[in-house]
Amino acid sequence: MQIKAAIVSERSGSFAIETVELCEPRPDEVIVRVVASGMCQTDLHGRDGYFDNPYPAVYGHEGAGIVHAVGNAVRGLVPGDHVVMSYPWCGACANCRQQRQNYCVHGRSLKSGGARADGSTLLSKNGAPVYSAFFQQSSFGTFALSQERYTVKVRNDAPLELLGPLACSGQTGAGAVLNVMKPQPGESIAIFGVGAVGLSALMAAKIAGCNPIVAVDVHDWRLALARELGATHTINHNACGDVVAEIRKISGGVRYSLETSAVPAVFREAIECLMLAGTCVLLGSARKGSEVTFEMPFLQQGRMVRGVVQGDSVPQEFIPRLVDLIVAKKFPIERMIKFYDFADINLAAKESSAGIAIKPVLRMPL
Ligand SMILES: [Zn+2]
Ligand SMILES: [Zn+2]
């Protein structure tokens, strides 16, 4: 079928909305009419060649929409279902078999290889391949093809155009708190960086009853939003001489800290602000070769540092749980969203990179 998709023709090129051909679904695949798609830094990293993916390419991995067609082996979805397309996994490797699919050993190639696992492409233009299947979905289009396994049905009374970000940034931040840290009410947390991931974590920390909740960022306007969404204390990193001392003054050292900035010096602060036996979770996606140092005796005191991908979320369970929280107005994701028409995708990318839009969401034309 013919669809419109935002094509990047060369490394760091701009997005151009063009008509392309989307292939028919295989037995375990579904075609989704994309209603709205979040934009994540990872899409722009793809555009800019971080993953050595081929061009021309279509990105987008936070798609929400309505099932349009299903392959003949699909049992759990029917046309008309409201869905969120989550991250892909192979389903067969050692981690996938333990329901740790967010650490699928084939995850990287499935996310950024530009094709299905067997190398086939989903899109073509005038008979030539267009590399898509970004996170096995490429949601920067009016329709997207995904597998049933990671296409999550959601309640149809929820505001669908808000739900795309749950596929990546939402479950990454909220899952780090609710699935990994699992804080008790009254436990302390410090969140470094309150972009889309950090704010999702912050809203989850509020739901869990954390106190204090300390937000650290370099933008006062983001810190003001963090306070409205549940931060009890905020620290502007640029204005504070010693962030670790300030957090210790507030909390005596935090039980949990979350690093989303990918800046090594900030990661070290996120470790150094921990109390004895505290846990630091790293979400910030640093470039290969980035290193950090900290004192060995400090870690010896029962402190733990670990990286987490996609919030250790099992999407079929966790995304509907987050949707329920949105409907109950406990996870006000709309506060971080800025909507753009699909035609304004380059503006969305620019404002995302400039930090003007925390979470751009593209509305697709009917
Ligand atoms: Zn796997
Ligand atoms: Zn993402």
Q: Which ligand lies nearest the alpha carbon of 98? A: 1
Dist. CA 110–CA 195, nearest whole Å: 26
Q: What is the DSSP letter of 131?
A: B
Place of tokens 């050292």: 253
Average pLDDT value over all residues in the chain: 97
Distance CA 257, CA 189 (A): 5
288 pLDDT above the threshold of 90 = no
Mean pLDDT of 130-146: 97
CA of 337 to the centre of ligand 2 (A): 14
Q: Separation of 98 CA from ligand 1 center, angstroms?
A: 10
The environment of the single-atom ion ligand 2, i.e. residues with CB closer than 5 A, is 40, 42, 168
The neighbour count for residue 201, using CB atoms within 10 Å, is 33
Distance 149 CA to ligand 1 centre (A): 12
Averaged pLDDT for residues 264-291:
95
Residue type present at position 147: Q
Collapse the DSSP code of 354 into the 3-class scheme (helix H, G, I; strand E, B; otherwise coil) and give the result: coil
- pLDDT tens, 216-231? 999 999 999 999 999 9
Closest ligand, as measured to the CA of 149: 1
What was the pLDDT predicted at 52? 86
Residue ranges of alpha helices (H) inside 134-195 are 169-175
pLDDT for res 355: 87
Residue 178 phi, psi (nearest 5): -80, -30
Q: Rounded CA gap, 302 and 277, in Å?
A: 4
> Band of the pLDDT at 14, cuts 50, 70, 90?
very high
As a whole number, mean pLDDT of residues 243-269 equals: 97
Mean pLDDT of all residues in 280-285: 95
Confidence of residue 300 (pLDDT cuts 50, 70, 90): very high
Q: What amino acid is encoded at 119 in this protein?
A: G
**CA–CA distance, 275 with 256 (Å, rounded to integer):** 8
Q: Which ligand is nearest to the CA of 62?
A: 2
The pLDDT tens digits for 21-35 are 999 999 999 999 999
pLDDT, mean of residues 49-61: 94
Ligand 2 centre and the CA of 57: distance in Å? 17
pLDDT-derived band at 286 (thresholds 50, 70, 90) equals confident
**Paired tokens of 164:** 């795309």
Per-residue pLDDT, averaged over 101-111, amounts to 96
Q: For 166-187, write each residue's pLDDT tens digit.
A: 999 999 999 999 999 999 999 9
Which ligand has its closest atom nearest to the C-alpha of 96? Answer: 1
Task: Collect residues with CB below 5 Å from ion ligand 1.
Answer: 89-90, 93, 96, 104
Rounded alpha-carbon distances, angstroms, from residue 304 to 178, 181, 209, 215:
17, 11, 22, 20
How do 189-192 and 254-259 pair as beta strands? parallel
Report the alpha-carbon distance of residue 142 to residue 33 in Å, rounded. 6
pLDDT at 145: 98
Q: What is the reported pLDDT for 287?
A: 83
Q: How far is the CA of 318 from the centre of ligand 1 (A)?
A: 19
Q: What is the pLDDT of residue 366?
A: 84
Taking the centre of ligand 1 as the mean of its atom positions, its distance from the CA of residue 171, in whole angstroms, is 19
Q: What is the mean pLDDT of residues 150-159?
A: 98
Nearest-angstrom CA–CA distance, 342 and 17:
8
Calculate how far, in angstroms, residue 157's C-alpha sits from the geometric centre of ligand 1. 33
pLDDT band for 285, please (50, 70, 90 cuts): confident
Give the N- to C-terminal CA distance of the chain in Å, as an integer: 15
Question: Regarding beta strands 29-38 and 57-58, do their DSSP bridges make them parallel or antiparallel, or are they unpaired?
Answer: unpaired
- 250 vs 214: CA distance, rounded Å: 8
Q: Reply yes or no on whether the pLDDT at 7 is more than 90.
A: yes
Q: Which ligand is nearest to the CA of 110?
A: 1
β-bridge mates for residue 73, sequence order: none
pTM metric for this prediction: 0.96
Asked if 138 contacts 112 with a C-beta cutoff of 8 angstroms, the reply is no
| Residue whose token pair is 């296409």 | 151
Structure tokens belonging to residue 330: 């406990």
What was the pLDDT predicted at 272?
97
